[in-house]
Amino acid sequence: MIDARNLGSDRLNLPPLSIKHGPNLAAVYADPDVARYVGGDRLTPVAISFQVAAFAAEWDQRGYGQSAVIDRSTGEFLGRIGLHFWPDWDEVEVGYILGRAAQGKGVAFEGASAWINWARTSSDIARLIANIHPNNAPSIGLAQKLGFTFGRHDITPSGLPTLIYEISL
């Protein structure tokens, strides 16, 4: 069994997202084109601090969570990818968000694949979801490339419309 805290891939280190990554994540979210489908204007510095703290707590509680995405060759912070439990749905999501410079280069596919493989081989998770804004065509395409299929229309706990894609492990 692989410890999720040691997850990585050929190009990526995927350490647990922690408070120290907050400023880097804030810089990713500062790009309105990046943040528009994951909170947009609601991603204030205070909200990001709470989000990062919640992601760090999830690691302590569940043994998995969101990872910082670090380029192995440069050490650059690229975004976040990992698992997140949604208590309102009682489901585990694989989520991904990358800075614009890292998009379109296979980074999200590589990092999400590492997480899906971990969930399949090293956890008791039977199914993953991808929670995607209906207008986020690139994210829908990535979910489909990863093997997810459309499951349902839903509303997030914060009241936003979403599409739920799913994959059985």
Q: What is the mean pLDDT of the chain?
A: 91
- Name the pairing type of β-strands 77-86 and 127-132: unpaired
Residue 35 structural domain = 4-168
Output the domain CATH number for residue 65: 3.40.630.30
Give the pLDDT score at 152: 97
The whole-model pTM stands at: 0.93
Query: What per-residue string of b and e applies to 89-104 under the rule 16 or more CB within 10 Å gives b?
Result: eebbbbbbbbbeebbe
- Torsion sign (Cα): 116, 117, 119, 125: positive
pLDDT in tens, 111-157: 999 999 999 999 999 999 999 999 999 999 999 999 999 999 999 88
- Residue 8 in tokens: 């990585």
The half-sphere exposure of 40 on its side-chain side, counting CA atoms within 13 A, is 7
Q: How many domains does the chain have?
A: 1
pLDDT in tens, 19-49: 898 889 888 888 888 777 776 566 667 777 7
Give the pLDDT score at 131: 95
